[in-house]
Structure 1
Amino acid sequence: MTASEDRLLVALDIDGTLLHYDGTLTDEVRRAVAEVRDAGHEVVLASGRSLIAMTPVAAELGIGTGLMVASNGSVTVRLDPDEPQGWTLEDVVTFDPAPALRLLREELPDARYAVEDLGVGFRMNALFPEGELDGQHRVVDFEDLWSEEVTRVVVRSPESTSEQFHELVERLGLDDVTYAVGWTAWMDLAPLGVSKATALEQVRRRVHVQPHRTVALGDGRNDVEMLRWAARGVAMGHADPVVKEAADEVTGTIEDDGAAQFLRTLLAT
């Protein structure tokens, strides 16, 4: 067991890092995560997923306690099996999505828009394809999407590319939100200045791990700030050049169980 002063905070992205794109988790990665936790290190899942989409993954990994970062940093929870839902809220950051939604609809009138109802699901102007969003889905009038402040906005525009999303945000001047472009046709909006990195810094302070004992692993552009934040930022081998450039090193691809390869290096330190 690692001595308290030597333990690491290990921040792990989920999709494309721990999970394959079809949502499967290999036994190799599952074992590696368990071994790192058993060694006494603080493993923190950090994802763009909503809270209700993260808890099943945590359960599959055997993680029932500790802190977890959801919604690209807008939501931090403490997993607790004694709680009715299995978790308690530690920190929630919200914003008014109305200005961004109005501007985006003018440019992308046929896009689908959703806002997160924390711990429940999503309100949306039209149903998303089955399996893309978890929880309960409630279709509402577009104006009802900003009836209250939210933690996250999802924009799905099948005809748009990642590059077009980046260009659109710059052109519209969406300087009152933080945005993350995922796979083609998908963009998340979060409160200004909020990212996985900002949430993880608060987690680090809560669990009393020194900055030089932080490591992070991810594959997406929404992981860039997290990889830069960590003392040891590691990109998956299939990540695009922007993500790799933000990292200190690169591990194997998702097909090679790159996450397991990286995690096992922590057991030798």
Structure 2
Amino acid sequence: MADWNPRVVALDIDGTLLKWVDGQTEDYETITAPVHDAVHRALDAGAHIVLSSGRSPHGMTRIADLLHIPREDADQLWVVASNGAVVFRYPPMEVVHEETFDAAPAVAAVLEHHPDALVAVEERGVGGYRVNRVFPEGELSGEQLITEVGDIVGEPVSRVIIRDPAATADDFIELAARLGLHGTDYVVGWTAWMDLSPVGVSKASGLQHVCDALGLAAADVLAIGDGRNDIEMLRWAGRGVAMGQSVEEVKAAADDVTASVHDEGAAVEMSRWFPPRED
């Protein structure tokens, strides 16, 4: 790849741009100078920056603001949210693509095994969530409106979060494999946190939508991420790079592994293609 240069840089947020911690607080949402500068060097070189996260749309716009993108007089930013189910431009927020599905059967199947699990669906356009019970502090952004599960998934949705603080990530991985969750794709996070999404929808499918609009291809994309929900994106991109703290299955899906988020791995990788200017 000696003569290759990324034309799109797809960046996960939590654990990639931000130093993910349990019980995250607003203070956690801090962009370091190395990451900020590397993003802007990529923009200087003409690359498109695309934020790509499992977060809801409203949980991503403030990260764009912290990065100071898009720049003044630049085109709206492309953002892939909800693990690819929602693609929008910003600012202002303008949803250009959304995938929805009937989540009720999958949610019922999981609750049969984890009856005390928490369930949430984003209130699109508002920024809060409908939840069956309140999530632990710091895990969801915005207001949480207590709602019966039947009403939460009573109509097509783009993404459902299921969280069981009493279980582990391995518990959820084993359960999902056992259930099959027909008609639904899923991804398990670092903890017992499962995102349910429409079949075939991932960060890769969302980014493909962006590339189609830009007249570019997967081969033009540098993607950086750290979680299981990044696996499809890392495999799909021309160059997929896992953060140093990623679990082995994420590293195995990548073309390369950079430093950990605590050692500015995203900035390290971007600097390979967009190096600082020598004074």
TM range (shorter): over 0.9
> Which residue matches 1:108?
114
| Distance in 1 separating the partners of 2:174 and 2:219 | 35
Q: Among 41, 60, 84, which residue is 1:73 paired with?
A: 84
> Which residue matches 1:13?
12
225-234 or 130-139, larger mean C-alpha shift = 130-139
Deviation at 1:119? 2.8
> Which residue matches 2:160?
153
Displaced runs of 4 or more, over 4 A: none
Alignment map for 1:32-51 (pairs within 5 Å) = 32-51=38-57
Cα deviations by residue, 1:137-186 (Å, 9 ceiling, x for unpaired):
21011211122111111111012111111111121220211111112121
1:176 aligns with 2:178: no
Count of residues in correspondence between the two structures? 259
> Which residue matches 1:90?
96
Structure 1, unmatched stretches of 5+, are 81-85
Cα deviations by residue, 1:56-95 (Å, 9 ceiling, x for unpaired):
0011011132210000000000113xxxxx2101101011
Deviation at 1:23? 3.0
1:56 aligns with 2:74: no
Cα deviations by residue, 1:29-72 (Å, 9 ceiling, x for unpaired):
11111111122101100000000000000110111322100000
Relative to structure 1, is the Cα distance of residues 164 and 59 closer, same or farther in structure 2, using a 3 angstrom cutoff? same
Deviation at 1:13? 0.4
| Distance in 2 separating the partners of 1:234 and 1:184 | 22
What is the SS of the residue equivalent to 2:108? Answer: helix
Structure 2, unmatched stretches of 5+, are 21-27, 71-75
| Distance in 2 separating the partners of 1:210 and 1:51 | 24
> Which residue matches 2:217?
210
Identity of aligned residues (%): 48
1:236 aligns with 2:243: yes
> Which residue matches 2:267?
260
Deviation at 1:243? 0.6
> Which residue matches 1:119?
125
* TM-score normalised according to structure 1 size: 0.93
RMSD between superposed Cα atoms in Å:
1.5
131-140 or 105-114, larger mean C-alpha shift = 131-140
